[in-house]
Amino acid sequence: MRCPFCGHLEDRVVDSRETQDGQATRRRRECAGCARRFTTYERIEEILPYVVKKDGRREAFDRRKIVEGVATACQKRPVSAEQVEALVSAVERQMAELGEREIRTAAIGELVMQRLRSLDEVAYVRFASVYRAFRDVGEFMTELEGLQRKPGGEGGA
C-alpha cells in the first residue's frame, strides 16, 4: 500500500477490525518510511451494474461519486464519516441485489434519498434539492411539506 504522505510502498498493519456493518475491514497502517499512520478499507469487490446517465451515456459505477454527494449534503450536520460509508455500502448492496446489468442514475438517487431521509432530514433536503434540481421555491416547499407529512412524525424538531 502506497503511503498517502510520502509515497513509500512498505507499511505494517497496526490494527485490523471489521466495520460496523461487517461489509469491510478497516486497517490502521504505519508507513515504514515516514512512520505516519493512515487508514485503509478492504471490501469484497462486487460486480455492480453500469450507470445510465440522464443523457443516455453509460459509465462504470463509481462509489466515490455517491460518497462525495452524500458527504456534501451532510456537511455541518451530526453525521459521521462512518455513517456516510454505511449508507453508501447499503446502497451498493441494494444495487448488487437487483441483479441488473444497468441502473439509471434516477434509481440510484432514489435509493440514496430513502436512506438519507431516515439518517438526517436536513441532509436529505440538501441532497434532494441538488438531485431533483428544483426549479423554484414552490417545488422546494412541496418537498418540505412531504417531509413533514411522513409517517411517525409531525414535522417537529
What does the pLDDT read at residue 46? Answer: 66
Per DSSP, 53 falls in state -
Q: Which domain holds residue 136?
A: 45-147
What does the pLDDT read at residue 78? Answer: 95
pLDDT digits (tens, 9 = 90+) for 100-155: 889 999 899 989 999 998 999 899 888 988 777 666 777 777 777 777 776 544 44
- Please compute the mean of the pLDDT values over residues 47-68 and round it to a whole number: 90
Residues 125 and 144: beta-carbon distance below 8 Å: yes
100 vs 111: CA distance, rounded Å: 15
Which element (helix H / strand E) includes 135? Answer: none
What does the pLDDT read at residue 22? Answer: 80
Burial 31-49 (b: 16+ CB within 10 A, else e): beeeeeeeeeeeeeeeebb
Residue 111 lies in a domain: yes
- Please compute the mean of the pLDDT values over residues 74-82 and round it to a whole number: 93
DSSP string of 10-79?
-EEEEEEEE-TTSSEEEEEEEETTT--EEEEEEE----PPEEE-TTS-EE---HHHHHHHHHHHTTTSS-
Residue 152 lies in a domain: no
Residue 90 lies in a domain: yes
Residues 59 and 98 placed together within one structural domain of the fold: yes
pLDDT digits (tens, 9 = 90+) for 18-54: 987 787 899 999 999 999 999 998 887 667 789 999 8
Residues 23 and 49 placed together within one structural domain of the fold: no
What does the pLDDT read at residue 150? Answer: 67
pLDDT digits (tens, 9 = 90+) for 89-108: 999 889 888 888 899 998 99
Residue 10, CB-side half-sphere exposure with 13 Å CA sphere: 2
Residue 18 lies in a domain: yes
Residues 26 and 16: beta-carbon distance below 8 Å: yes
C-alpha cell at 108: 440510484
What does the pLDDT read at residue 104? Answer: 93
The reply to whether the predicted model has a pTM over 0.85 is no
In the predicted structure, residue 15 carries a pLDDT above the cut 80: yes
Residues 139 and 120 placed together within one structural domain of the fold: yes
